[in-house]
Structure 1
Protein backbone atom coordinates (compact mmCIF):
# COMPACT_ATOMS: atom_id res chain seq x y z
CA UNK A 1 0.00 0.00 0.00
CA UNK A 2 1.44 3.32 -1.00
CA UNK A 3 1.94 5.75 1.87
CA UNK A 4 0.65 8.59 -0.31
CA UNK A 5 -2.69 6.77 -0.88
CA UNK A 6 -3.16 6.39 2.87
CA UNK A 7 -2.14 9.99 3.55
CA UNK A 8 -4.61 11.22 0.92
CA UNK A 9 -7.35 9.04 2.43
CA UNK A 10 -6.95 10.82 5.76
CA UNK A 11 -7.06 14.31 4.23
CA UNK A 12 -10.86 13.99 4.01
CA UNK A 13 -12.95 16.18 6.30
CA UNK A 14 -15.37 13.36 7.01
CA UNK A 15 -15.46 9.59 6.85
CA UNK A 16 -18.08 6.95 6.16
CA UNK A 17 -18.17 3.27 7.01
CA UNK A 18 -20.13 1.33 4.41
CA UNK A 19 -21.49 -1.73 6.15
CA UNK A 20 -21.71 -0.19 9.62
CA UNK A 21 -23.32 -2.55 12.11
CA UNK A 22 -24.71 -2.53 15.64
CA UNK A 23 -23.23 -6.02 16.15
CA UNK A 24 -20.01 -5.46 18.12
CA UNK A 25 -18.57 -8.72 16.76
CA UNK A 26 -18.69 -7.43 13.16
CA UNK A 27 -16.00 -5.35 11.54
CA UNK A 28 -18.58 -2.81 10.37
CA UNK A 29 -18.95 -1.95 14.05
CA UNK A 30 -15.25 -2.17 14.94
CA UNK A 31 -14.16 0.11 12.10
CA UNK A 32 -16.78 2.76 12.93
CA UNK A 33 -15.71 2.63 16.58
CA UNK A 34 -12.08 3.07 15.49
CA UNK A 35 -13.01 6.40 13.87
CA UNK A 36 -14.85 7.53 16.99
CA UNK A 37 -11.98 6.43 19.22
CA UNK A 38 -9.69 8.68 17.13
CA UNK A 39 -12.08 11.66 17.31
CA UNK A 40 -12.79 11.58 13.58
CA UNK A 41 -16.09 12.64 12.06
CA UNK A 42 -17.61 9.41 10.77
CA UNK A 43 -21.04 8.20 9.75
CA UNK A 44 -22.25 4.68 9.27
CA UNK A 45 -23.75 3.79 5.90
CA UNK A 46 -26.23 0.94 5.92
CA UNK A 47 -29.81 0.95 4.57
CA UNK A 48 -30.80 -1.59 7.24
CA UNK A 49 -29.28 0.01 10.35
CA UNK A 50 -30.92 3.31 11.34
CA UNK A 51 -28.50 4.08 14.21
CA UNK A 52 -25.07 2.85 15.30
CA UNK A 53 -23.37 4.24 18.42
CA UNK A 54 -26.25 6.69 18.88
CA UNK A 55 -25.45 8.28 15.51
CA UNK A 56 -27.94 8.18 12.67
CA UNK A 57 -26.76 6.02 9.75
CA UNK A 58 -27.25 7.01 6.16
CA UNK A 59 -28.78 4.59 3.65
CA UNK A 60 -26.19 5.53 0.99
CA UNK A 61 -23.09 7.63 0.42
CA UNK A 62 -24.98 9.90 -1.97
CA UNK A 63 -27.71 10.50 0.62
CA UNK A 64 -25.06 11.24 3.25
CA UNK A 65 -23.29 13.77 1.03
CA UNK A 66 -26.49 15.47 -0.09
CA UNK A 67 -27.99 15.69 3.39
CA UNK A 68 -24.85 17.07 5.03
CA UNK A 69 -23.38 19.01 2.08
CA UNK A 70 -20.04 17.21 2.43
CA UNK A 71 -17.36 18.20 -0.04
CA UNK A 72 -14.63 15.82 1.13
CA UNK A 73 -15.11 12.23 2.26
CA UNK A 74 -13.21 8.95 2.51
CA UNK A 75 -14.99 5.64 2.77
CA UNK A 76 -14.08 2.47 4.63
CA UNK A 77 -15.78 -0.49 3.00
CA UNK A 78 -16.87 -3.44 5.14
CA UNK A 79 -19.43 -5.07 2.85
CA UNK A 80 -19.55 -8.18 0.68
CA UNK A 81 -17.78 -7.89 -2.69
CA UNK A 82 -21.15 -7.77 -4.50
CA UNK A 83 -22.34 -4.82 -2.38
CA UNK A 84 -18.88 -3.22 -2.61
CA UNK A 85 -19.12 -3.27 -6.40
CA UNK A 86 -22.46 -1.43 -6.28
CA UNK A 87 -20.93 1.07 -3.86
CA UNK A 88 -18.06 1.69 -6.26
CA UNK A 89 -20.51 2.52 -9.03
CA UNK A 90 -21.94 5.19 -6.73
CA UNK A 91 -18.48 6.50 -5.77
CA UNK A 92 -17.37 6.58 -9.43
CA UNK A 93 -20.24 9.01 -10.11
CA UNK A 94 -19.18 11.27 -7.22
CA UNK A 95 -15.61 11.40 -8.44
CA UNK A 96 -12.19 11.98 -6.88
CA UNK A 97 -12.86 15.64 -6.11
CA UNK A 98 -15.28 14.61 -3.37
CA UNK A 99 -14.01 11.10 -2.60
CA UNK A 100 -10.50 11.29 -1.14
CA UNK A 101 -10.14 7.55 -0.78
CA UNK A 102 -11.79 4.16 -0.56
CA UNK A 103 -10.27 1.68 1.91
CA UNK A 104 -11.43 -1.89 1.32
CA UNK A 105 -11.22 -3.97 4.46
CA UNK A 106 -10.13 -7.61 3.99
CA UNK A 107 -12.93 -9.69 2.48
CA UNK A 108 -14.85 -6.69 1.13
CA UNK A 109 -13.63 -6.96 -2.45
CA UNK A 110 -12.62 -9.33 -5.21
CA UNK A 111 -11.02 -8.79 -8.61
CA UNK A 112 -14.36 -7.82 -10.19
CA UNK A 113 -14.93 -5.25 -7.46
CA UNK A 114 -11.56 -3.60 -7.98
CA UNK A 115 -12.05 -3.67 -11.76
CA UNK A 116 -15.23 -1.60 -11.26
CA UNK A 117 -13.29 1.25 -9.67
CA UNK A 118 -12.70 4.38 -11.70
CA UNK A 119 -9.01 4.89 -12.40
CA UNK A 120 -9.38 8.29 -10.73
CA UNK A 121 -10.40 6.89 -7.33
CA UNK A 122 -7.77 6.47 -4.64
CA UNK A 123 -8.19 2.76 -3.78
CA UNK A 124 -6.57 1.07 -0.80
CA UNK A 125 -6.88 -2.72 -0.88
CA UNK A 126 -4.62 -5.74 -0.77
CA UNK A 127 -5.77 -7.21 2.52
CA UNK A 128 -4.78 -4.18 4.58
CA UNK A 129 -6.86 -3.26 7.63
CA UNK A 130 -7.50 0.26 8.89
CA UNK A 131 -7.62 -1.13 12.44
CA UNK A 132 -3.96 -2.12 12.11
CA UNK A 133 -2.59 0.57 9.80
CA UNK A 134 -4.87 3.56 10.28
CA UNK A 135 -2.75 5.31 12.87
CA UNK A 136 0.19 5.43 10.46
CA UNK A 137 -2.08 7.22 8.00
CA UNK A 138 -3.29 9.65 10.65
CA UNK A 139 0.32 10.51 11.48
CA UNK A 140 1.15 10.96 7.78
CA UNK A 141 -1.79 13.32 7.31
CA UNK A 142 -0.89 15.16 10.52
CA UNK A 143 -4.29 14.39 12.09
CA UNK A 144 -2.67 12.57 15.00
Structure 2
Protein backbone atom coordinates (compact mmCIF):
# COMPACT_ATOMS: atom_id res chain seq x y z
CA UNK A 1 0.00 0.00 0.00
CA UNK A 2 1.17 3.50 -0.78
CA UNK A 3 2.69 5.59 1.98
CA UNK A 4 1.69 8.85 0.21
CA UNK A 5 -1.71 9.32 1.95
CA UNK A 6 0.00 8.71 5.29
CA UNK A 7 2.86 11.09 4.45
CA UNK A 8 0.27 13.77 3.60
CA UNK A 9 -1.57 13.01 6.85
CA UNK A 10 1.61 13.73 8.85
CA UNK A 11 2.24 17.12 7.25
CA UNK A 12 -0.48 18.66 9.45
CA UNK A 13 0.28 21.28 12.10
CA UNK A 14 -1.83 19.50 14.70
CA UNK A 15 -3.89 16.36 15.22
CA UNK A 16 -7.15 15.29 16.80
CA UNK A 17 -8.39 11.94 18.05
CA UNK A 18 -12.15 11.57 17.78
CA UNK A 19 -13.14 9.03 20.40
CA UNK A 20 -10.24 9.84 22.72
CA UNK A 21 -10.76 7.94 25.96
CA UNK A 22 -9.33 7.92 29.48
CA UNK A 23 -9.84 4.12 29.56
CA UNK A 24 -6.41 2.53 28.95
CA UNK A 25 -8.04 -0.59 27.47
CA UNK A 26 -9.61 1.39 24.59
CA UNK A 27 -7.96 2.26 21.30
CA UNK A 28 -9.08 5.86 21.69
CA UNK A 29 -6.68 6.00 24.63
CA UNK A 30 -3.84 4.10 22.94
CA UNK A 31 -3.95 6.32 19.86
CA UNK A 32 -4.11 9.58 21.84
CA UNK A 33 -1.12 8.35 23.88
CA UNK A 34 0.74 7.49 20.65
CA UNK A 35 0.43 11.12 19.47
CA UNK A 36 1.57 12.39 22.87
CA UNK A 37 4.52 9.96 22.93
CA UNK A 38 5.55 11.21 19.47
CA UNK A 39 5.49 14.85 20.67
CA UNK A 40 2.75 15.80 18.21
CA UNK A 41 0.27 18.56 19.04
CA UNK A 42 -2.97 16.69 19.67
CA UNK A 43 -6.46 17.42 20.95
CA UNK A 44 -8.88 14.78 22.13
CA UNK A 45 -12.45 14.87 20.89
CA UNK A 46 -14.73 13.51 23.60
CA UNK A 47 -17.84 15.38 24.78
CA UNK A 48 -17.63 13.84 28.27
CA UNK A 49 -13.95 14.34 29.18
CA UNK A 50 -12.39 17.84 29.46
CA UNK A 51 -8.83 16.45 29.63
CA UNK A 52 -7.10 13.13 29.03
CA UNK A 53 -3.41 12.75 29.97
CA UNK A 54 -3.42 16.50 30.57
CA UNK A 55 -4.40 17.11 26.94
CA UNK A 56 -7.42 19.29 26.26
CA UNK A 57 -10.48 17.50 24.97
CA UNK A 58 -13.24 19.23 23.03
CA UNK A 59 -16.78 18.11 22.31
CA UNK A 60 -16.57 18.18 18.49
CA UNK A 61 -14.33 18.60 15.48
CA UNK A 62 -16.20 21.80 14.59
CA UNK A 63 -15.23 23.31 17.96
CA UNK A 64 -11.59 22.51 17.25
CA UNK A 65 -11.52 23.80 13.69
CA UNK A 66 -13.60 26.91 14.35
CA UNK A 67 -11.38 27.93 17.27
CA UNK A 68 -8.14 27.35 15.35
CA UNK A 69 -8.71 29.74 12.46
CA UNK A 70 -8.88 29.05 8.72
CA UNK A 71 -5.10 28.75 8.23
CA UNK A 72 -4.67 25.85 10.67
CA UNK A 73 -4.11 22.41 9.15
CA UNK A 74 -5.22 19.29 11.03
CA UNK A 75 -5.21 15.55 10.55
CA UNK A 76 -7.81 13.53 12.40
CA UNK A 77 -7.80 9.95 13.70
CA UNK A 78 -11.26 8.52 14.22
CA UNK A 79 -11.81 5.74 16.76
CA UNK A 80 -15.59 5.62 17.17
CA UNK A 81 -18.41 3.28 16.13
CA UNK A 82 -19.26 3.55 12.40
CA UNK A 83 -22.46 5.59 12.87
CA UNK A 84 -20.55 8.19 14.95
CA UNK A 85 -17.68 8.13 12.45
CA UNK A 86 -20.09 8.76 9.58
CA UNK A 87 -21.51 11.83 11.35
CA UNK A 88 -17.97 13.04 12.03
CA UNK A 89 -16.99 12.60 8.37
CA UNK A 90 -20.02 14.65 7.34
CA UNK A 91 -18.96 17.37 9.81
CA UNK A 92 -15.42 17.29 8.41
CA UNK A 93 -16.65 17.56 4.81
CA UNK A 94 -17.85 21.10 5.49
CA UNK A 95 -14.46 22.09 6.90
CA UNK A 96 -12.21 19.97 4.68
CA UNK A 97 -10.06 22.88 3.51
CA UNK A 98 -8.37 22.63 6.95
CA UNK A 99 -7.91 18.85 6.84
CA UNK A 100 -4.76 17.08 5.63
CA UNK A 101 -6.23 13.67 6.27
CA UNK A 102 -8.66 11.48 8.14
CA UNK A 103 -7.49 8.16 9.50
CA UNK A 104 -10.38 5.76 10.08
CA UNK A 105 -9.02 3.20 12.49
CA UNK A 106 -10.05 -0.46 12.04
CA UNK A 107 -13.60 -0.99 13.31
CA UNK A 108 -14.51 2.70 13.06
CA UNK A 109 -16.14 2.61 9.64
CA UNK A 110 -18.50 0.79 7.34
CA UNK A 111 -19.56 1.32 3.73
CA UNK A 112 -21.80 4.26 4.69
CA UNK A 113 -18.92 5.97 6.52
CA UNK A 114 -16.64 5.63 3.50
CA UNK A 115 -19.41 6.78 1.15
CA UNK A 116 -19.93 9.92 3.26
CA UNK A 117 -16.40 11.18 2.59
CA UNK A 118 -16.38 14.14 0.21
CA UNK A 119 -14.39 13.99 -2.99
CA UNK A 120 -10.84 15.13 -2.40
CA UNK A 121 -10.73 14.20 1.30
CA UNK A 122 -7.58 12.19 2.10
CA UNK A 123 -9.07 9.15 3.87
CA UNK A 124 -6.90 6.36 5.23
CA UNK A 125 -8.85 3.19 6.01
CA UNK A 126 -9.08 -0.45 4.93
CA UNK A 127 -7.42 -1.89 8.02
CA UNK A 128 -4.56 0.60 8.21
CA UNK A 129 -3.66 1.62 11.77
CA UNK A 130 -1.71 4.63 13.02
CA UNK A 131 -0.16 2.46 15.74
CA UNK A 132 1.35 0.23 13.04
CA UNK A 133 2.12 2.69 10.21
CA UNK A 134 2.42 6.03 11.97
CA UNK A 135 6.18 5.98 12.46
CA UNK A 136 6.69 5.34 8.74
CA UNK A 137 4.35 8.23 7.90
CA UNK A 138 6.17 10.62 10.22
CA UNK A 139 9.51 9.65 8.65
CA UNK A 140 8.11 10.10 5.12
CA UNK A 141 6.72 13.54 5.99
CA UNK A 142 10.04 14.60 7.57
CA UNK A 143 11.98 13.41 4.52
CA UNK A 144 10.00 15.81 2.31
CA UNK A 145 10.67 18.93 4.45
- TM-score interval, smaller chain: over 0.9
- Return the alpha-carbon distance in structure 1 between the equivalents of residues 38 and 113 of structure 2: 29
Number of residue pairs aligned between Structure 1 and Structure 2: 142
**Aligned-residue CA RMSD in angstroms?**
1.2
In structure 1, the partner of 2:46 is 46
- Return the alpha-carbon distance in structure 2 between the equivalents of residues 14 and 56 of structure 1: 13
5+ residue gaps in structure 2? none
Please, what TM-score do these two structures have when normalized by structure 1?
Answer: 0.95
Deviation at 1:48, TM superposition (A): 1.6
Deviation at 1:68, TM superposition (A): 3.1
Q: How does 1:1-144 map to 2 (within 5 A)?
A: 1-69=1-69, 71-95=72-96, 97-142=97-142
- Return the alpha-carbon distance in structure 2 between the equivalents of residues 128 and 54 of structure 1: 27
Checking the alignment, whether the CA contact within 8 Å between 2:65 and 2:98 is kept in structure 1 is no
- Secondary structure of the corresponding residue to residue 142 of structure 1: helix
5+ residue gaps in structure 1? none
- Runs (4 or more) in structure 1 with deviation over 3 Å come to none
